[in-house]
């Protein structure tokens, strides 16, 4: 948790202070109504962009329904 197998007392105190500061910041942000930033994987972000592009192309009439479904089938993987 501290980053060392056998941390010194000072390293432990420093880690506890950093943890306390992060928790205090998170509580303050929560009280302000700011949601925590979520991490988004690069692969998920790229897939969302591709799917959004396909939906926009269908909406704008660039793609037909069968073409859109075929493209979606290539983008989405069922496990």
Report pLDDT for 3. 76
pLDDT band at 38; cut points 50, 70, 90: confident
Query: Is the model more confident about 39 or about 37?
Result: 39
- Average pLDDT, stretch 54-66? 94
Under 8 Å between Cβ of 58 and 65: yes
Indicate yes or no: pTM above 0.75: no
Kindly list the domain boundaries of the chain, sorted by start residue: 7-38, 42-75
Long-range CB contacts for residues 12-18, cutoff 8 Å, separation at least 24: none
- Average pLDDT, stretch 18-40? 90
């Amino acid at each position: 948790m501290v980053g060392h197998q056998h941390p010194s007392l000072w390293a432990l105190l420093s880690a506890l202070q950093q943890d306390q500061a992060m928790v205090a910041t998170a509580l303050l942000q929560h009280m302000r109504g700011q949601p925590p930033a979520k991490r988004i994987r690069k692969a998920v972000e790229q897939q969302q962009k591709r799917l959004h592009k396909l939906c926009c192309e269908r909406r704008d009439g660039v793609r037909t329904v069968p073409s859109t479904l075929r493209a979606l089938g290539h983008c989405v993987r069922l496990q």
